[in-house]
Structure 1
Amino acid sequence: MATQNRAIRTRRAILEAAATVFSEHGYAAAKVADILELAEVTKGALYFHFDSKEELARAVIDAQAADAPPRAAQALRTQEFVDLGMVFAHRLTHSVLLRGSLRLTGESGECELNRPSPYRDWTRQGTALLEEAAGQGELLPGTDPAETAGLVVASYAGVHMMARALDELHDLERRMSALYRHVMPGVAVPRVLAALDMAPGRGARVLAAAAGG
């Protein structure tokens, strides 16, 4: 058991070190030597867990979904739709794995890392919530759930890219709050819109409530 726990800790240390290096330098410029130094492991330990730099990058991308907290159910499905983004924005400012994952999914290059997968997952989740919201009478007539979810995901990616370029990821939650406050009036009926919490800090509040805090 002790050996197994040590292996789990080593794998996590390698993943977090890789995410840090990928986040700072991108996939092509990332050096395995830098990952080894940051993780404080040997090359043999790294290749015991991951066959290549490409496999390690895929594992960082996959961690985006694997580390996601359980969805906190809300009476309004439109609130859950907003919460998806606000919780992610909060986690992104605190998780190097998410930052590395998002840097990789936003890049293009010769190496195939299944980069579209997270975007498709986010869009599917958002579409499903908005379809439920439509069934509960929360959406304005003519609102297309798939179109709206896709637009928000694309906008989210652009907002994140700009915040990272300006070295202002610490401000991401406020930027995402602004995005939802501009988008949701064209999506939710007035009575629902008035009830939505889209303020900065919403992500932290949802996670705290889910944890019983």
Structure 2
Amino acid sequence: MAKQDRAIRTRQAILEAAAKVFEERGYQAATISEILTEAGVTKGALYFHFQSKEHLALGLLDEQDEGLTVPERPCKIQEVVDVIVLFTHRLQTSQMVRASVHLTLDQQASGLDRSGPFLAWGEMMRSLLRQAQQQGELLPHVVTDETADVLVGSYAGIQAMSHALSSYRDLGQRVTTLLRHILPSVVISSVLASVDLSTERGAYVYDEAKRNLAEAQATDELAKAAG
């Protein structure tokens, strides 16, 4: 178990180092040597977990959710909002998430498949919007696949704009403004009236998700100990 824990810690240290280097230097300019120096690990330790710089970048892209999820909400539009504001809060507070987003949007990262996060976000939004439609939360004209693409694409653009103008400091307000413009065109007004779009919502959902993750991990540990 100690060996396994050590391997997990080493992998995490490598990812955190890669996040710092990728965020500062960009994918093309970053080198394995810089990441090794930042992580303080051997080349063998790095290649045990990641076969190349590309695999390391893909590993970082896979870490965007960090195990944090929004609990199911009775109102699926609130769940859509909570998914977006949770990620917004984490983007403002986590270097690993910021680096992952930079990789996703880095058009100079030739040879790197950056489609994964877009596909995952698109599928998640489509699923939630279909549920919202089944519950009668959406206006009759809405095509959920189109709305999902608009949400994902416009959110990516708002992220890039906020990064360029304020290093994400104003991202919460920009996201709230984006949702206040898009949602009235797809959501029934009586439903939208009950949805919390406040700029403080992201921090609240983050704390809730952290508590739920800690409780789930504690339950797993107890189950392993009992077994």
Query: What does the per-residue CA deviation read over 1:114-133, in whole Å, with 9 as the maximum and x for residues that have no partner?
Result: 21121111111111111111
Match of 2:148 in 1: 149
* Contact persistence 2:103–2:109 (CA under 8 A): no
* Contact persistence 1:119–1:153 (CA under 8 A): yes
Match of 1:184 in 2: 183
Map 1:12-23; keep pairs closer than 5 Å: 12-23=12-23
Instruction: Give structure 1 stretches of 5+ with no counterpart.
Output: none
Match of 1:3 in 2: 3
Match of 1:64 in 2: 64
- Separation (CA, whole Å) in 2 of partners of 1:168 and 1:198: 22
Let me know the Cα RMSD of the aligned residues. 1.8
- Separation (CA, whole Å) in 1 of partners of 2:196 and 2:43: 48
* Contact persistence 2:23–2:102 (CA under 8 A): yes
- Separation (CA, whole Å) in 2 of partners of 1:79 and 1:116: 26
Map 1:21-170; keep pairs closer than 5 Å: 21-65=21-65, 67-109=66-108, 111-170=110-169
Aligned residue-pair number:
212
Q: CA deviation at 1:88?
A: 0.6
- Separation (CA, whole Å) in 2 of partners of 1:206 and 1:110: 32
- Separation (CA, whole Å) in 1 of partners of 2:98 and 2:165: 15
Q: CA deviation at 1:44?
A: 2.5
* Contact persistence 2:75–2:132 (CA under 8 A): yes
Instruction: Give structure 2 stretches of 5+ with no counterpart.
Output: 213-227
Q: CA deviation at 1:74?
A: 1.1
Query: What does the per-residue CA deviation read over 1:38-96, in whole Å, with 9 as the maximum and x for residues that have no partner?
Result: 2122223222221111111111111124x241331111111111111111101111222
Identity fraction in percent: 46
Normalized against structure 1, the TM-score is what?
Answer: 0.92
Q: What is the DSSP-based 3-state SS (H/G/I as helix, E as strand, rest coil) of the residue aligned with 1:203? A: helix
Normalized against structure 2, the TM-score is what?
Answer: 0.87
